[in-house]
Amino acid sequence: MESPWEADSEVSEFVEFYLSAEDEQVLDEIETAGEEKESHLQALSAADVMKLEGEEIDWTIQGILAFGSMGIISGYAGLGKTWLAFELAIEAARGGSWLGKFPCRKVRVLYIDEESSQQLLRHRLGKLLAGKGIPGEGLDLHFIIQAGFNLSDPAKLAAFRQLFSNLKPDLVIVDSLIRIHQADENDAKQMAGIFRTLRELMREHGFTVLLIDHHRKLQPFGESLSQLRGSTEKAAAVDMVILLLKKNGQLEIEHAKSRYAEPVPAFIVELKDPVPGQTTVTHAGGAAEAAAEAALASGRSFVLKALEGGSWIARKALIEQGKDKGVPQKALDAAFKALAEENSLVREDRRPEQGPGGRAAYYRLAMSPNNSFHVSTPYIEGNGNEFEGGVKEGGAP
């Protein structure tokens, strides 16, 4: 089919007459743009990749948050997200250790707070500084409080670009993610655009980003990362995710995603006010160890209560009764072992009085010097292990 220009020879001659040399050059560049773009693509060999600079990972928080990366701290309201973020901001600004455990690179920190009032921010920051015994002066820590930082607003974004250029922060902490955009958090495409804008800012100004976020509404979950509210794009877009969980009355921290290293094993954090006007936020040991200790305490308490009558009771009966009351066999076995090592428990292996069968384990509390049964710790009521009527006895020795 003829083009309109070819059909009208007079118009075609007119265009050719008035087309300047510069215009022709522009048209030529447009025609060859695709070819040039393809010619600029080059693949790197494995040897070339190994020669690239920056072989070692540079950490903002050792083993947790890499420099130049993006992370999320998420949890339900009231669990302590802001306390952990403030603790991190202070320690990164002074080159200390987050939670007294994880070394921090000394950096300039900008904390963008779209949640707290000036009074609340000052109150919390003051308590943490007092708990550490350090003044605020000299810390390379800066705050922007309810200034309307918004990745969806071009005017606000331009203002913050200027701020980043002037201040040159190394670490930017944002409290919270939901406050700095107008996208639908359940829309993966919209959230991808928000994270793309953040990445552009990070590349332009060379900083690390830590976002404070919220869990979904309370409900049972499968994978840990599914607890992040909104689209799965959140978990996909960031390099690191820390989840705050309440387990057995303790604050547990799960390093749910780590793009640059193996995740740190889950651990316990303690928030305390040692004296009025001071707050400390510290690492309090591994979560697995804490869970094992809690299980042992539960099993120990159950066994002591069950045996306090002084009779011999079959291990099988104890296990069955413990199962009914929510005390797992693993916890009971740990309690049997611990109590025996303390000489608080006596074991005897013997055959059943009636019917066939091999030897079975029976337990009884050890006798004290005055011939009374020794109970080393009281049974703690209210922890879900109470039972009525005790455990059926297995007979006299």
Comparing CA positions, the residue from 121, 125, 123 lying closest to residue 135 is: 125
Q: What is the pLDDT of residues 185-223, one digit of tens each?
A: 999 999 999 999 999 999 999 999 999 999 987 655 456
Q: How confident is the model at residue 263 (pLDDT cuts 50, 70, 90)?
A: very high
Examine the pLDDT at 154 and tell me if it is beyond 60.
yes
The confidence score (pLDDT) of residue 383 equals 36
CB distance 198 to 160 below 8 Å: no
- pLDDT for residue 368: 59
Question: Residue 236 and residue 192: Cα distance in Å, rounded?
Answer: 9
| For range 69-95, the mean pLDDT | 97
The yes-or-no verdict on residue 11 having pLDDT over 80 is: no
Angle at 213 between CA 104 and CA 157, to 5 degrees: 85
Cα separation of 289 and 198, whole Å? 38
pTM, full prediction: 0.74
Residue 78: closest CA among 286, 226, 271, 290: 271
Q: What percent of the chain has pLDDT over 90?
A: 69
Residue 234: per-residue pLDDT: 95
Residue 146 has what DSSP assignment? S
Q: What is the reported pLDDT for 174?
A: 98
Q: What is the pLDDT of residue 15?
A: 40
Residue carrying structure tokens 């990070």? 202
CATH class as words, domain 287-397: mainly alpha
Strand 109-113, strand 171-175: pairing: parallel
Residues β-bridged to residue 209? 70, 172
Measure CA of the first residue to CA of the last residue in the chain; give whole Å. Answer: 107
3-state secondary structure of 110: strand
CATH no. of 59-278:
3.40.50.300
124-153 residue pLDDT tens? 999 999 999 999 899 999 999 999 999 999
Measure the CA angle with vertex 102, ends 99 and 105; round to 5°. 110
Digit-coded pLDDT (tens) for 302-311? 999 999 988 9
- How sure is the predictor about 183, in pLDDT bands with cuts at 50, 70 and 90? very high
pLDDT of residue 14: 39
Contact between 396 and 312 (Cβ < 8 Å): yes
Collapsed DSSP state (helix, strand, coil) of residue 364: strand
Quick check: 94 pLDDT over 70?
Answer: yes
Residue 387: pLDDT over 90: no
Q: What is the residue extent of each domain of the chain? A: 4-39, 59-278, 287-397
- What's the rounded Cα separation, in Å, for the pair 314 and 299? 16
Q: Read off the tokens for 173.
A: 């902490």
Closest by CA to 174, choosing from 207, 132, 205, 130, is 207
Arithmetic mean of pLDDT, 248-254: 92
Rounded to an integer, what distance in angstroms lies between the CA atom of residue 77 and that of residue 273?
19
376 — phi, psi (to 5°)?
-75, -30
Reply yes or no on whether the pLDDT at 390 is more than 90: no
21 has a pLDDT exceeding 90: no
Question: How much is the pLDDT for 219?
Answer: 56
Cβ-based neighbour number of residue 355 at 10 Å: 6
